[in-house]
């Protein structure tokens, strides 16, 4: 990969789910959008692009970060997580979870962290061993072929809303993790490729600061963000505002402790390499 010329905007990923709409709103309102080459996509495609070097900076599923930590630096104080319910990372099931032994469970293809957390939770906490298969995140089809589905993002948020009329049971994996460990869950973090950070530290600092400003700005305007989004959604503005307030975009000490605990448990199962003892490496602008 050649180095980026000083005149080329940083290639920055953006999750095309409602969960990151507040961040987008802030980038738009502050004018920072004009200084980045923004790539909107689903999380699994953004993960792959950042790891492959087709993006310089972007959100990455925690699990994929742990698998490629040697090539990446985390941007401080920025994440997609929750301290309790998250509302949009769910196991949707047609039977109680303790009846899933040997039963088919569909894992949504857009998720890496949520689907691993679901497997850890089912096997270690609930004590069942389902048969998993990966599936496009189409809930109706998943529940046709399986007794439970693990889904994230808009599909999961809508499923939570529609569950009473369908008789589905919804297990919120942010809440499940909190009940299990007492800690917040970090589903995705923002990372920069180490090679890009070395070559263009000033650009990375600018993008990081733009994201932090964006987060602050959108938090003060969440009702407006929700009103604007609801025009294109089946969910109400009040539901969306509640969702945006439930999500935790920060990565403070408690969130980093949650990240460590998830990494430790996932590594013990052989699902990811262990984190170095010093913890994740951060970009220091």
Ligand X SMILES: C=C(O[C@@H]1C=C(C(=O)O)C=C[C@H]1O)C(=O)O
Residues making contact with ligand X (CB under 6 A): 15, 17, 19, 43, 61, 80, 86, 88-89, 111-114, 152-153, 156, 187-188
Q: In which residue are the tokens 């997609």 written?
A: 80
d(CA 181, CA 30): 37
Give the shortest CB-243-to-ligand X separation in angstroms. Answer: 9
Least separation, in Å, of the C-beta of 81 and ligand X?
A: 7
Other beta carbons within 10 angstroms of residue 229's beta carbon come to 19
Where does residue 79 rank: exposed (0-12), middle (13-18), buried (19+ CB within 10 A)?
buried
282: DSSP letter: B
Which residue, 203 or 226, is less far from ligand X as judged by CB? 226
Smallest distance from ligand X to CB 187, Å: 3
CB of 229 to ligand X, least distance (A): 14
Give me the sign of the Cα torsion angle 207, 210, 215, 221: negative
Please, which residue, 23 or 203, has the CB nearer to ligand X? 23
189 half-sphere exposure, CB direction, 13 A CA radius: 29
- In this structure, the strands spanning 72-82 and 185-193 are antiparallel
CB of 280 closer than 8 Å to CB of 264: no
CB closer to ligand X out of 116 and 143: 116
CB of 218 closer than 8 Å to CB of 22? yes
Of 25, 4, 65, the residue nearest 210 (C-alpha): 25
**CB closer to ligand X, 187 vs 196:** 187
Nearer to ligand X, 15 or 217 (CB): 15
In angstroms, the CA 136 to CA 114 distance is 14
Round to whole Å and give the CA distance between 157 and 159: 5
Min. distance of Cβ 173 from ligand X in angstroms?
Answer: 9
Nearer to ligand X, 200 or 243 (CB): 243
For the bound state, the minimum distance from the C-beta of residue 111 to ligand X, rounded and expressed in Å, comes to 3
Q: Quick one: 180 or 205, whose CB is closer to ligand X?
A: 180
């Amino acid at each position: 990969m050649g180095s980026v010329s000083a005149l080329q905007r940083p290639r920055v990923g953006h999750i095309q789910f409602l969960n990151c709409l507040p961040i987008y709103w802030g980038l738009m309102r502050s004018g920072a959008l004009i200084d980045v080459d923004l790539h909107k996509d689903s999380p699994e495609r953004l993960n792959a692009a950042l790891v492959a070097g087709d993006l310089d900076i972007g959100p990455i599923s925690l699990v994929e970060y742990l698998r490629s930590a040697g090539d990446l630096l985390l941007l401080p104080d920025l994440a997609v997580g929750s301290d309790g319910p998250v509302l949009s990372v769910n196991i949707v099931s047609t039977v109680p979870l303790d009846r899933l032994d040997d039963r088919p469970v569909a894992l949504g293809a857009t998720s890496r962290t949520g689907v691993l957390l679901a497997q850890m939770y089912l096997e270690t906490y609930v004590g069942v061993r389902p048969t998993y298969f990966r599936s496009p995140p189409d809930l109706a089809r998943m529940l046709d072929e399986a007794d439970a589905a693990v889904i994230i993002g808009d599909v999961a948020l809508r499923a939570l809303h529609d569950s009473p009329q369908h008789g589905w049971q919804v297990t919120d994996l942010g809440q499940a993790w909190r009940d299990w460990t007492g800690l917040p869950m970090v589903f995705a973090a923002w990372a920069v490729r180490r090679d890009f950070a070395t070559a263009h530290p000033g650009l990375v600092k600018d993008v990081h600061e733009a994201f932090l400003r964006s987060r602050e700005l959108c938090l003060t305007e969440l009702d407006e963000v929700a009103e604007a989004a609801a025009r294109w959604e089946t969910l109400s503005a009040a539901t969306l505002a509640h969702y945006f307030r439930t999500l935790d975009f920060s990565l403070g000490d408690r969130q980093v402790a949650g990240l460590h605990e998830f990494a430790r448990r996932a590594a013990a199962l052989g699902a990811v390499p262990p984190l170095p003892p010093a913890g994740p490496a951060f970009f220091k602008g």
